[in-house]
Amino acid sequence: MTFVNGRGNSLPISIELVMEIFSRLPAKSIARCRCVSKLWNAVLRRPDFTELYLTRSSPRPQLLFIFRDKEYAFVFFSTQHPQNPVNNSSFAVAASRFTPSLRLYDFVGASNGFVLLRGVKTTANHKVLLLSLLFNPSTGQSLLLPEGKPEVKPKCNMLGLNMVKFMGYDPVKKQFKVLFITMSGANGDYERYDAFQVLTLGIGKPSWRIVECCLPHVPRPGGICIDGVFYYIGNVDRSSVQCFVVCFDFTSDKLSFLNLIGPMQDATTLINYSGKLGSLMSKYFYGRDTSFDLWVLQDLEKKEWSKHVFVLHPPVWQHVVKGLRCFGVVGTTEFVFVPTFLCNPFYVFYYNVEKKTVVRVGVRGMQEFNGYPVDDFSNHVENVELIRAF
């Protein structure tokens, strides 16, 4: 097949080879290439190219740091994890600032290169609306999501305190979905969330669908999507310490539950451990910690877990900054730890469980947010898919 470049010259290159070449470029270069010609734009919008680019990006996950400034704009800093990091080395991050028309106040989550944000918007008659925004840091595009079904809207309007949203990706149908949970009833003096809806993106005009839940519960913030299943922690009600893992399958739109028995009750920090659900005993770590436990879900259907104990060998670990949060896992050997607040200098710590070493790597480029809390995502990938309007 003949391919035409920006100067109008014919190149005897197949579309497959052209896509292979383009798939090795950074996402921002893809955006510029779309403006070269109609043919280039058509090739770079093809679903098979988007899939190829995502496939190439997935083995190279990025660090994604997220901050909200005083003007309610979000700033995203991203960089790839260093390969074979060396102690006291450093790297710079690339920034992209996103200033929407509504006041954003919360980072909901990230999946397959997209992030979900929550915000408020005041109408002409001074009514406050709670809205959600889908954003792609790689392309700079955003999309305002529709509200949920009127019959299951929350009873009160307290800045989203009685509603929870999660986002995930269905790898089978290749669709983004949003799970919307609202409190539509009460159990004694304690609220429980028992109205569940799901929204599928990119299939024409969207509509919310009711999802059946046999066990009303109170979702905790956060969660993680792994291979099309979104996992989050739920409590029986607001007063109960009893918790369990809620599993929402974005392919079948069905909910299931995993009990946390015995010593697993405190393992409530969910991470992606080599493509499997992992649950840490604690999200926060300090220089005095000598080990941490990780439970790994080996079989979802059989509900089988395995326990792993990782020893933090002194004196290396004792010199690490206090108040670290587990950021995630790179591969199966390196746990990533990040301070809970941005400080100067700012370091990311890589703990290699095989070598039993801790490597400190400095991050440059985020000084303007010193003192801010750090929202983070360790398995961010570049996704060049364009958000299609509804």
Q: Could you tell me the strand order of the sheet in which 334-339 lies? A: 89-92, 357-364, 346-352, 334-339, 324-330, 284-285
What are the residues whose beta carbons fall under 8 Å from the beta carbon of 207, sequence distance 6 or more? 199
245: three-class secondary structure by DSSP: strand
Of the pLDDT bands very low, low, confident and very high (cuts 50, 70, 90), residue 296 is very high
Q: Is residue 22 domain-resident?
A: no
Q: Is residue 6 domain-resident?
A: no
How far is the C-alpha of 98 from the C-alpha of 382, rounded, in Å? 16
Q: Is residue 338 domain-resident?
A: yes
18: three-class secondary structure by DSSP: helix
Q: Is residue 304 domain-resident?
A: yes
pLDDT one-digit tens code per residue, 196-253? 889 888 766 767 888 888 888 888 888 899 999 999 998 877 666 778 999 999 999 9
370: three-class secondary structure by DSSP: coil
Q: Is residue 10 domain-resident?
A: no
Extract the runs of DSSP E, i.e. beta strands, from 137-237: 141-144, 163-170, 175-182, 185-187, 190-192, 195-200, 208-211, 218-219, 224-226, 229-235
pLDDT one-digit tens code per residue, 55-93? 888 877 888 888 887 777 888 888 888 888 888 888 888
30 vs 238: which has the higher pLDDT:
30
pLDDT one-digit tens code per residue, 118-144? 877 777 787 767 788 888 888 888 888
Sign of CA dihedral 344, 137, 94, 63: positive
Q: Is residue 235 domain-resident?
A: yes
162 vs 4: which has the higher pLDDT:
162
> What's CA 87's distance to the chain center, in Å?
27
Strand partners, 244: 234, 259
Residue 287 confidence (pLDDT): 60
Query: Residue 109: how many CA atoms within 13 Å on its side-chain side?
Result: 23
Q: Which of 93, 100, 95, 94 is nearest to 73 (CA)?
A: 100
pLDDT of 290 over the 80 cut: no
Range of the domain at 287: 58-380
pTM of the model: 0.84
Domain count, the chain: 1
Q: How does strand 89-92 pair with strand 357-364? A: parallel
**23's torsion region: left (phi>0), alpha (psi -120 to 50) or beta?**
alpha
Q: Is residue 91 domain-resident?
A: yes
CATH number at residue 230: 2.120.10.30
How far is the C-alpha of 92 from the C-alpha of 365, rounded, in Å? 6
Q: Is residue 375 domain-resident?
A: yes
